[in-house]
């Protein structure tokens, strides 16, 4: 299984802006990498360039040490020489062919022997748990079963790399959840490298070993999902990951030894960075607070409950502390009366301080309310 390396990859369509802007990333053997970002940020274009279906304007792509694309060296290996499987958003099964035929058709074209094909079809149908449907036609299958056949067809030739472009977006919510679990197991069982395109942060979070978060063609952060969630590189990354999303509080900060005193208008607090950071004597900041790190306690800041949305497992609150609104998540089956008063507090050391001007993360740290 190859490492895929993208070096200074840029793609420009016509005279428009850059769809992909100087992308550098390495997808290691056996990883499950998600390309994540809002619609139009360049995910599909990136995936198609890896596959060889789209030609980069500049840069190089390597599969291990083999250069499959280089604008300078004039190399551009065709898709069929890259040993990849590609699963599109609108996978189309051939309606006039049985499941068995849908899967074997590609292998016949690749001149596999009859015995090998039969063996492989049986094997892959077992993996995808569609053995009992082998002689059915696509119209006789549910959406989820059809999706499994489409994946089986893509996996049948044993691709080293499986590229998937929003493959679950046409499925209903329940099925999508089931298929997520199956994809994860499939990744484990096949040992292939998966590159997965999605605009859904929770899908990327739950499936991937690494997430590449992209904004307007520019890679923002590339790391394991929990790191992206816990240590976002900038405000965009922090805001994109998590639901309900992170609270952002504008504040002015004054340095006091290793700490920074933050004036959030409706309240004041002291931020102690986990790591030593260099900051100006005074600066404008944005304080990032995950909803699960707003604690409802006996002592602390007075807050008014604007809304309370219990879901059974947890309750999402919208709180007003003076002019500052914070969303909070309280675990367990609890409810709060609208317009009631509560007190809240901060604990732990996962609060995030961003520089307001650059939007970059400066440090994680702990918060102590002072006023």
Ligand X SMILES: Nc1ncnc2c1ncn2[C@@H]1O[C@H](COP(=O)(O)OP(=O)(O)O)[C@@H](O)[C@H]1O
Nearest CB to ligand X, comparing residues 213 and 301: 213
Q: Does residue 198 interact with Mg ion by CB under 5 A?
A: no
Footprint (CB under 6 A) of ligand X, residues 237-276: none
Q: Is 221 in the site for Mg ion (CB under 5 A)?
A: no
Q: How far is CA 327 from CA 4, 80, 88, 201, 223, in A?
A: 40, 50, 37, 19, 26
Should residue 212 be labelled a site residue for ligand X when binding is judged by CB under 6 A? no
- The reply to whether 330 sits near ligand X by the rule CB under 6 A is no
Classify strands 32-36 and 193-198 as parallel, antiparallel or unpaired: parallel
Select 162 or 296, whichever has its Cβ closest to Mg ion: 162
19 interacts with, out of ligand X, Mg ion, none, CB within 5 to 8 A per kind: ligand X
DSSP 8-state secondary structure symbol assigned to residue 99:
H
Query: CA torsion angle for 223, 224, 226, 232 (degrees, to 10)?
Result: 0
Distance of alpha carbon 208 from alpha carbon 211, whole angstroms: 6
H or E stretch covering 102? helix 99-109
Number of residues that bind ligand X (CB under 6 A): 10
List, in order, residues 6 or more apart from 328 with CB less than 8 Å away. Answer: 291, 292, 294, 295, 296, 316, 317, 318, 319, 344
Phi, psi of 89 (to 5 degrees): -60, -45
Count of other CB atoms within 10 angstroms of residue 234: 17
Applying CB under 6 A, among 4, 6, 9, 19 the residue interacting with ligand X is: 19
324 binds ligand X (CB under 6 A): no
Give whichever of 31 and 165 is closer to ligand X, judged by the CB atom: 165
User: What is the nearest approach in angstroms of ligand X to the Cβ of residue 281?
Assistant: 42
Query: Taking CB under 5 A as the rule, does residue 208 contact Mg ion?
Result: no
Q: Does 192 bind Mg ion (CB under 5 A)?
A: no
- Give the contact letters, 36-75, x = binds to ligand X (CB under 6 A), - = no: -x-xxxxxxx------------------------------
**Cβ atoms < 10 Å from Cβ of 95:** 9
| Binding flags for Mg ion, 10-49, as an x/- string (CB under 5 A) | ----------------------------------x-----
Binding site for Mg ion (CB under 5 A): 44
Binding site for ligand X (CB under 6 A): 13, 19, 37, 39-45
């Amino acid at each position: 299984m190859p490492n895929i390396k993208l070096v200074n990859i840029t793609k420009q369509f016509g005279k428009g802006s850059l769809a992909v802007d100087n992308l550098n990333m390495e997808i290691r053997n056996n990883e499950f990498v998600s390309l994540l970002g809002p619609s139009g940020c360049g995910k599909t274009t990136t995936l198609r360039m890896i596959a060889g279906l789209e030609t980069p304007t500049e840069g190089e792509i390597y599969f291990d040490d083999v250069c499959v694309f280089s604008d300078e060296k004039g190399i551009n290996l065709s898709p069929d020489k890259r040993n990849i499987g590609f699963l599109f958003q609108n996978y189309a099964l051939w309606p006039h062919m049985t499941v068995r035929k849908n899967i074997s058709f590609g292998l016949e074209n690749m001149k596999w022997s009859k015995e090998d094909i039969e063996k492989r079809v049986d094997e892959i149908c077992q993996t995808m748990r569609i053995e009992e449907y082998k002689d059915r036609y696509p119209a006789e299958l549910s959406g989820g079963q059809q999706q499994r056949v489409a994946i089986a067809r893509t996996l049948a030739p044993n691709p080293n790399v499986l590229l998937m472009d929003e493959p679950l977006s046409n499925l209903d919510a329940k099925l999508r959840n089931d298929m997520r679990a199956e994809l994860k197991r499939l990744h484990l069982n096949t040992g292939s490298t998966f590159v997965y395109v999605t605009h859904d942060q929770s899908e990327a979070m739950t499936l991937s070993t690494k997430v590449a978060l992209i904004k307007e063609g520019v890679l923002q952060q590339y790391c394991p999902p929990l790191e992206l969630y816990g240590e976002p590189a900038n405000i965009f990354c922090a805001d994109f990951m998590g639901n309900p999303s992170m609270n952002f509080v504008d504040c002015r900060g004054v340095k006091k030894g290793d700490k920074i005193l933050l004036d959030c208008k409706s309240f004041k607090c002291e931020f102690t960075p986990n790591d030593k950071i260099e900051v100006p004597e005074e600066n404008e900041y944005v304080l990032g607070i995950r909803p699960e790190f707003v604690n409802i306690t006996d002592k602390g800041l007075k807050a008014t409950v604007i809304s309370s949305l219990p879901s059974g497992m947890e309750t999402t609150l919208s709180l007003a502390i003076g002019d500052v609104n914070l969303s909070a998540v309280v675990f367990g089956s609890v409810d709060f009366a609208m317009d009631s008063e509560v007190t809240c507090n901060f604990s732990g050391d996962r609060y995030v301080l961003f520089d307001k001007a650059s939007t970059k993360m400066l440090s994680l740290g702990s918060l102590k309310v002072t006023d």
